[in-house]
Amino acid sequence: MLPKGVLFDFDGVVVDSAASHNAAWESAFRELFNEQIVAFPKHLSGKSPMVIANYFCSVIGKEVQTEELFFLKDKHLDIYFKTPKLLPGVHECTDFLTKKSIKYGIASNATKQFLKNSVEKLKLNFTTVFGLQDYEKPKPSPEAYITLAKALGFTENDFKDIWVFEDSLTGTTAAKLAGMIPIGILTQFSEEELKEAGSKMVFPTLLEAYQYLKAQ
């Protein structure tokens, strides 16, 4: 059976945005501290940018400037915007869901301006998009996906029939806690890691997920 609704994470599912985010973190960190930033650790994939900012600041003992780095990084991400790379299957998925009258949208821990810029530049067919500023508690809290689902008109009784495409353990946990069906995308973690976190199925990209949906 087809899902009642489909919710998408953004980074690592719809786009490969690592270069965009890494460049903004690096330039903001250099401006603020006049130092080279450390490499981005995999365990922070999918985490809130505030959590990531705190990590980078903690490496040099400057946790008190976490918020300053967070806001500066968001500013750099906008001013020096680098269009992320579109991942396979996005247009196929959204066209299919539209044809089948299945509601869908994006809920991401990325900031809203980055999402807006990316959707516009890549001409993506997403009209309902939620970012970090839309929730009190970012993922792994379920609030992001619950907020999006309700905005799309779903009730809690529908949640068990909603798919959530996620590439991170953080987002997979959020989808599971929301009572939805996490579907793993293999851009960050292994099939075993995603299934252990709660993914019911995994696909290399959205293209394979689209092909599965089309065959149902």
100 and 196 together in one domain: yes
Q: Has residue 1 got a pLDDT over 90?
A: no
Q: Rounded to the nearest 10 degrees, what angle do helices 66-79 and 112-122 cross at?
A: 20
Question: pLDDT value at position 64?
Answer: 98
- Average pLDDT score, the chain: 96
Domain boundary among 79, 100, 118: 79
Q: What is the mean pLDDT of residues 180-193?
A: 97
72 and 160 together in one domain: no
Note the pLDDT tens digit of each residue in 138-159: 999 999 999 999 999 999 999 9
Note the pLDDT tens digit of each residue in 197-207: 999 999 999 99
pLDDT > 70 fraction of the chain, expressed in percent and rounded: 100
43 and 121 together in one domain: no
Domain range spanning residue 103? 5-16+84-214
Q: Are 39 and 8 in contact (CB under 8 A)?
A: no
74 and 88 together in one domain: no
Q: Has residue 104 got a pLDDT over 90?
A: yes
Q: What is the mean pLDDT of residues 89-114?
A: 97
143 and 194 together in one domain: yes
Q: Has residue 108 got a pLDDT over 90?
A: yes
Note the pLDDT tens digit of each residue in 62-100: 999 999 999 999 999 999 999 999 999 999 999 999 999
146 and 193 together in one domain: yes
Domain boundary among 79, 107, 128: 79
pTM, rounded to two decimals = 0.92
42 pLDDT tier (thresholds 50, 70, 90): confident
Question: pLDDT value at position 172?
Answer: 98
178 and 127 together in one domain: yes
210 and 124 together in one domain: yes
Long-range Cβ pairs for the range 75-81 (8 Å, 24+): 75/28, 76/23, 76/24, 76/27, 76/28, 76/31, 77/20, 77/21, 77/24, 77/111, 77/113, 77/114, 78/113, 78/114, 78/117, 80/23, 80/24, 80/27, 81/20, 81/114, 81/117, 81/121
Domain boundary among 79, 95, 114: 79
CATH number at residue 111: 3.40.50.1000
Question: pLDDT value at position 46?
Answer: 87
57 and 150 together in one domain: no
151 and 171 together in one domain: yes
194 pLDDT tier (thresholds 50, 70, 90): very high
**Domain count along the chain:** 2
